[in-house]
Structure 1
Amino acid sequence: MTRESRHLSVYIDRPVSKVYAFASDPANLPQWAPGLGSSVAEVDGAWFVETGEGRVRVTFAPHNEYGVLDHEVLTPSGETVYVPLRAIADGDGCEVVFTLRRTAGMTDAEFERDAALINGDLALLKKVLEGTDA
């Protein structure tokens, strides 16, 4: 089955190690990904985010030296959504690349809405890490 994917990215003028350390910490999600949810809690080693649809579990890839920030989101309905996310070194800074995948039954409008929300989250990540209004 072929699915549509879109790669959304932002350049952040900070070392990849700093970007990775910040973005890989689930406790920081509300600071840069408020669309996911506003409240994050660790319970027995698992991370949960309160969303408009209920509580979701977020599990990041194990810490690694490659900038892989992939994570899974277990929704209240029991669906697991795999989210590819990378921080890639680029000189003294890095590029953060989010792969948005169209899910089965997703309309064009929903896909564009999700892309806009993710672009907003990436812009906020840049702003937070660079300490600017970028």
Structure 2
Amino acid sequence: MRSLHISVVLERDAGEVYAFAADPDNLPRWAAGLAQSDVRREGSALVTHSPMGEVSITFAPQNAFGVLDHDVRLPSGQVVHNPLRVVTHPQGSEVVFTLRQRDLTDEEFERDAAAVRQDLEQLRALLDEGV
């Protein structure tokens, strides 16, 4: 199984980036590959409509280490673990998403990688605008 680390560097403090990205209300603004509608809370999970259908998302608890790992329960019931980190970088911060191929074809994996890149670029654009 292949893994791919996809990242963007932002000229913003890592704590600010983490706070913005960790806020469930911001997910539809930057993570279109995951949340295409408002997010509703069901216990510790977040539920939203995604390109894959309705999904349930459970994030790592708030922490001081920039860890935004999250499990996504797909409509099929399959749970996909997604490592996501905000780390300090000499220019501000870096957001790193680890994409794993799992049972995807090479073409599906490349499509997912493109969607992740687009989401991270959207996150950077929003934060560059001073949101």
Structure 2 unpaired stretches of 5+:
none
Pick closer, same or farther for the CA change 1:7–1:53 going to 2, 3 Å.
Answer: closer
Amino acid at match of 2:126: V
In the TM superposition, what is the alpha-carbon distance from 1:92 to its structure 2 partner? Answer: 5.3
Structure 1 unpaired stretches of 5+:
none
Amino acid at match of 1:111: F
Aligned to 1:96: 95
- Structure 1 range deviating more: 122-131 or 35-44: 35-44
* Percent identity between the two aligned chains: 49
Amino acid at match of 2:93: C
**Secondary structure of 1:48 counterpart:** strand
Aligned to 1:125: 123
Out of 17, 24, 42, the residue aligned to residue 26 of structure 1 is: 24
CA distance in 2 between counterparts of 1:7 and 1:52 reads 22
The answer to whether structure 1 residue 69 and structure 2 residue 90 are counterparts is no
Amino acid at match of 2:108: E
Question: TM-score under structure 1 normalisation?
Answer: 0.90
Say if 2:31 and 2:119, in contact at 8 Å, map to a contact too.
yes
Q: How many residues align?
A: 129
Aligned to 2:59: 60
Q: Residues 6-55 of structure 1, C-alpha deviation per residue, up to 9 Å, x if partnerless?
A: 00000011000000001111221100011223111123443101124432
Say if 2:33 and 2:51, in contact at 8 Å, map to a contact too.
no
**How large is the Cα RMSD of the aligned pairs?**
1.4
Q: Residues 37-80 of structure 1, C-alpha deviation per residue, up to 9 Å, x if partnerless?
A: 31111234431011244321111101111111100001111110
- Structure 1 range deviating more: 38-47 or 27-36: 38-47
Question: TM-score under structure 2 normalisation?
Answer: 0.92
Q: Residues 87-123 of structure 1, C-alpha deviation per residue, up to 9 Å, x if partnerless?
A: 000135100000010012x111111111111000000
**Secondary structure of 1:29 counterpart:** helix
